[in-house]
Amino acid sequence: MKKNILVTGGSGFIGSNFIPHFLSKHPDYRIINLDKLTYAGNPKNLKEVETNPQYTFIHGDICDRILLEKIFMEHDIQGVIHFAAESHVDNSITGPGEFIRTNVTGTFTLIDVARISWKGKPHRFHHISTDEVYGTLGESGLFKETTPYAPNSPYSASKASSDLIVRAYHHTYGMNVVTTNCSNNYGPKQHDEKLIPTIIRKALTGEKIPVYGDGKNIRDWLYVEDHCTGIDLAFHKGVSGETYNIGGRNEKVNIDIVKEICSILDEKKPRSDKKPYSEQISFVTDRPGHDRRYAIDATKIENELGWKASENFTTGIHKTIQWYLENTGK
121: enclosing H helix or E strand: none
Could you list the beta-strand ranges (E) of 111-188. Answer: 124-130, 176-182, 184-186
**Catalytic annotation, pick one of 55, 134, 155, 223:** 155
Q: What is the DSSP letter of 12?
A: S
Q: In whole angstroms, what is the distance from residue 102 CA to residue 320 CA?
A: 29
Closest CA to 86 of 102, 71, 72: 102
Closest CA to 189 of 45, 22, 43: 45
131 catalytic, yes or no? yes
Q: How do beta strands 218-223 and 251-253 pair?
A: antiparallel
Task: Say if residues 87 and 40 touch (Cβ distance below 8 Å).
Answer: yes
Closest CA to 180 of 247, 127, 107: 127
Nearest 10 degrees: CA dihedral of 202, 13, 20, 244? 130
**Catalytic annotation, pick one of 35, 131, 226, 302:** 131
**Catalytic annotation, pick one of 35, 86, 132, 225:** 132
Taking residue 85's Cβ as centre, other Cβ atoms within 10 Å add up to 25
86 catalytic, yes or no? no
Q: In whole angstroms, what is the distance from residue 53 CA to residue 74 CA?
A: 17
149 catalytic, yes or no? no
Amino acid type, 289: G
Q: In whole angstroms, what is the distance from residue 238 CA to residue 240 CA?
A: 6
Catalytic residue numbers, as ranges: 131-132, 155
